[in-house]
Chain A
Amino acid sequence: MKKFIPLILLLLITALGFIIRFYRLGQAPAGLYLDEAAQGYNAYSILKTGRDEFGKFFPVVFRSFADFKTPIYIYLIVPLIPIFGLTPFTVRLPSFIFSVLTLPLVYFLIRRLLNRAKIATPLALLTVLLLAISPWHTLFARADFEANIALFFLLLAIYVFYSALKRPSLLILSAFFFVVAFSAYHAERIIVPLILLLLFIRHYRTLLATHQRPFLLAGLILGFLLSLPTLFVMATPGWAARATTLNIFASNPSGYLAWYHGPASTLVNASWYLWVKEFFALYFSYLSPRNLFFLGDSNPRTAYPDLAPFFTWQFPLYLFGLYRLVKDTSLRELRFLILALLLISPLPAAMTRDPFSTIRALPLVIPLTLIITLGLIRSYQSLKPAGQRTLIRIGFVGVIIYSLFNLGSSAFVLNEYFNAKNWDYGWRQVVEVLNRLDPKLPLVVDSASGEIYSEILFFSRFSPLQYQEKNFEVPLDEYYQNLQRNPIKTIGNITVRGIAWKPDLAKEQYLVGDHLAISVEQIENNHLTLIKEINYPDGTPAFRIVKTNPNPTSE
């Protein structure tokens, strides 16, 4: 019976993680971000026609907004649509499922790496508990983020790799999971090869042993073949364009003094110095307590209000855990893996311009949570009197309960109110109104605020076949190369484009736009009829739907 207790506890902790991630899934965050809508509609299009919104047959990566979205997540949505329909819940479900599955996976990974060490069970269980209530991990579980899927497959591949050291045939399966992680998210295209390299260097004797060699070779060949489509896409101009816009080495580095042309300008504005400094500044920002425990991500979609990726009380444990990790060699293989993930995970994010991107550095959540747990356990072990330990246990339960409430307060109360705009709140309501309007009249939806056509396609569940027929962007043989965009989209009687006031006012039609595109003054001055104003949860106007009056009767 005693040996089942850890498994029962694991089940309970996973259930806790499940509840936190499942509660109001699809409703909170309110709204559906345009990337989520685009992924959902492309999955719908694949389901109905076998082609994406541009008519490309089962793409290797999805062109979408010419940002070339990774394919795994979109293909995971496809089988869910017949069961749950095309809804925000469906689009966010894969992220939720793999996030919950990550919890027991982390437990079994720690157990495998620590073997029969005394610390194995408490470390594994507490890490899973802290991960279950982690604001960072929870946030990505509740919305459509490919990074979540990539993290799960990365950890699974590592777990199977370690299993393969005893059962060589599993190397092939491990290679398969590494390829899935590699293809699932951009950051993993740097992380996976580096992790593989480190694992190989550490275990090359075992891997090159005679009985392992055939499986290693088979794994390498399979991995290479399965990576070919992704590698092919990475060589296209589309991919290069995306990489160029994001990376820090593409243009003048931060700190470049354009005004300085003095005698030492070669040294003062030396790009080698500025780039190296910029890279290290960004790299260290991912390990900085200020970002991890206070500021969090600067993007409001990837941060909860008033809540950092980790709770403040975890800060001293982080420092102590780091110290113990460096000193404590008894953790052996787990120590190696924590250090490897800790040092490699920030690399892709540190090469991009954003100051602290929790999405690009998502794998970092695992070593950091482990370090905090290690700090917690080691500091607990340093307490000698039983009374102190009892007090600490009670205190810990209290802190966990407080953290849960804090997470709930931020994720379900403050986030809904303050961040609705960033989650493109209001498009579902807009489409509901559009469905009730006179279908004979044309309708123009202002596109100034971004790629909002995906929202209309998603919420109206517009026929993918009709959409593909009416909209052309590039020839299909230039799908991955040509970056030309078509700024005008036709969705039945709806045209998505910028409003051209003079000609648009001259005919009777409906106009839709945000509060800036269609202001109160424009409504008054142009004699527009306000059909509906949709507000954000904080009461400020989100969208206005108006009807033009080309021949207004004089009053």
Chain B
Amino acid sequence: MKYLTTIVIFISLALWPLSLLLTNGYRDIPRDFANYFRHSILAPDQEAPLIINTKRSLYPNDFVGRFFNNKATFVWGRFKANFFALTDPNNYFFGFHPREIVRENLNLDKFPFISIIFLLYGLYRLNLLKRGRGLLLLFVVLACLLSLANFDKVDFILYPVLAVFIIHGTRRMRTEKPKLFVAVAIFLVIFSSPQYLRAFVNLHP
């Protein structure tokens, strides 16, 4: 059981670093960090005033038009786009599928999709994780900070927090629901084999 747990944890956690390694994405992380705020949500957009003004002109009352369509709502919209992407389970387990981010993102599969069961179980038993709530808060704070600019690859910073939740979920399930754990582990091994292979071949069309 102990070896199986180790295998499960390894399979669950190795995909994201491996994908970054294979795409050479890791090389961009220091550079992206240095230029992080250049791609900020506050960066000027030539089309933004046009869109805002068009929308404003549709309202019978200018105050209402300005209230719902202004620079702040535009920036808030960009922040939300990033924040909800970073809190989307499909981001981490399905490479944003079925709603990939075009051009600005590698849309990597970060964890094998079966591992979502361990993450959910880990969150379900969060009260048994030492400093679990603190880690959750840390995740939210980091996600908020990452949402201030283009987050692709830089979001690897969230990896340790998510990894702790997955490890916790794996261990708790092994202790509390051993039969379920074995079943999920078998599915993980079966379904992650093609997923790992694809990490290698996907890059060479």
- Let me know if A414 and B55 touch, CB within 8 A: yes
The residues of A that contact B201 with a CB separation of less than 8 Å are 257, 260, 262, 264, 268
- Let me know if B205 and A281 touch, CB within 8 A: no
Question: Of the 9-residue stretches B10-18, B29-37, B88-96, B165-173, which lies at the interface with chain A?
Answer: B88-96
Q: Give the B interface residue count (CB, 8 A).
A: 32
The residues of B that contact A285 with a CB separation of less than 8 Å are 90, 98-99
Query: For the complex, is B87 an interface residue (Cβ under 8 Å from A)?
Result: yes
Q: How far is the CB of A537 from chain B (nearest CB, A)?
A: 9
- Let me know if A268 and B84 touch, CB within 8 A: no
- Let me know if B97 and A281 touch, CB within 8 A: yes
Query: For the complex, is B113 an interface residue (Cβ under 8 Å from A)?
Result: yes
- Let me know if B195 and A273 touch, CB within 8 A: yes
Q: How far is the CB of B92 from chain A (nearest CB, A)?
A: 10
- Let me know if A290 and B84 touch, CB within 8 A: yes
The residues of A that contact B182 with a CB separation of less than 8 Å are none
Query: For the complex, is A409 an interface residue (Cβ under 8 Å from B)?
Result: yes
Query: For the complex, is B6 an interface residue (Cβ under 8 Å from A)?
Result: no
The 7 lowest CB-CB distance pairs between A and B, nearest first, are A355-B98, A290-B88, A281-B94, A290-B84, A294-B84, A273-B194, A281-B97
The residues of A that contact B81 with a CB separation of less than 8 Å are 294
Q: Give the A interface residue count (CB, 8 A).
A: 40
Residue of B nearest to A274 (CB): B194
Given B59, B98, B191, which contacts A281 in the complex, CB threshold below 8 Å? B98
A277 to B98, CA, bound (A): 11
- Let me know if B194 and A270 touch, CB within 8 A: yes
Query: For the complex, is A467 an interface residue (Cβ under 8 Å from B)?
Result: no
Q: How far is the CB of A135 from chain B (nearest CB, A)?
A: 14
- Let me know if B191 and A273 touch, CB within 8 A: yes
- Let me know if A289 and B88 touch, CB within 8 A: yes
- Interface mask (A50-84 → B, CB under 8 Å = 1, otherwise 0): 00000000000000000000000000000000000
Query: For the complex, is A519 an interface residue (Cβ under 8 Å from B)?
Result: no
Query: For the complex, is B53 an interface residue (Cβ under 8 Å from A)?
Result: no
Q: List 14 A-B contacts (CB under 8 A).
A: A267-B197, A268-B198, A278-B97, A281-B93, A281-B98, A284-B90, A285-B90, A285-B98, A290-B90, A290-B99, A326-B124, A356-B99, A405-B64, A414-B55
Query: For the complex, is A396 an interface residue (Cβ under 8 Å from B)?
Result: no
Q: How far is the CB of B21 from chain A (nearest CB, A)?
A: 19
Residue of A nearest to B109 (CB): A277
Query: For the complex, is A276 an interface residue (Cβ under 8 Å from B)?
Result: yes
- Let me know if B55 and A356 touch, CB within 8 A: no
